[in-house]
């Protein structure tokens, strides 16, 4: 199976690739597809909760402290 020149190759994370491949073989009316769709939503909600927690942690810490300036030292 050769690819056409104008076809673009898409790179997905393994989880995303899994869902894309399963959608190709599933009928959208099956119970399996309903569960799969629900699991995608739950997976994204889990990611959102992690991002929200990180945002809260960063807001509690306040602005980042200024970094010390680096001094270049000449070594002989």
| Complete DSSP assignment for 7-28 | PPPP---HHHHHHHHHHHHS-T
Residue with the bigger pLDDT between 5 and 64: it is 64
- CA 40/CA 30 separation, integer angstroms: 16
Average of per-residue pLDDT across 25-53: 84
Q: pLDDT class for 40, splitting at 50, 70, 90? A: confident
Using a 10 angstrom Cβ sphere, with 0-12 exposed, 13-18 middle and 19 or more buried, the burial of residue 51 is exposed
Note the pTM of the prediction, 2 decimals.
Answer: 0.45
């Amino acid at each position: 199976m050769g690819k056409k020149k104008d076809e673009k190759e898409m790179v997905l994370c393994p989880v995303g690739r899994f869902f894309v491949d399963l959608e190709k073989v599933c009928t959208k009316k099956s119970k399996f597809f309903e569960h799969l769709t629900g699991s995608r939503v739950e997976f994204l909600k889990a990611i959102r909760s992690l991002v929200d927690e990180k945002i809260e942690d960063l807001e509690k810490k306040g602005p980042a402290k200024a970094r010390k300036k680096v001094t270049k030292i000449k070594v002989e």
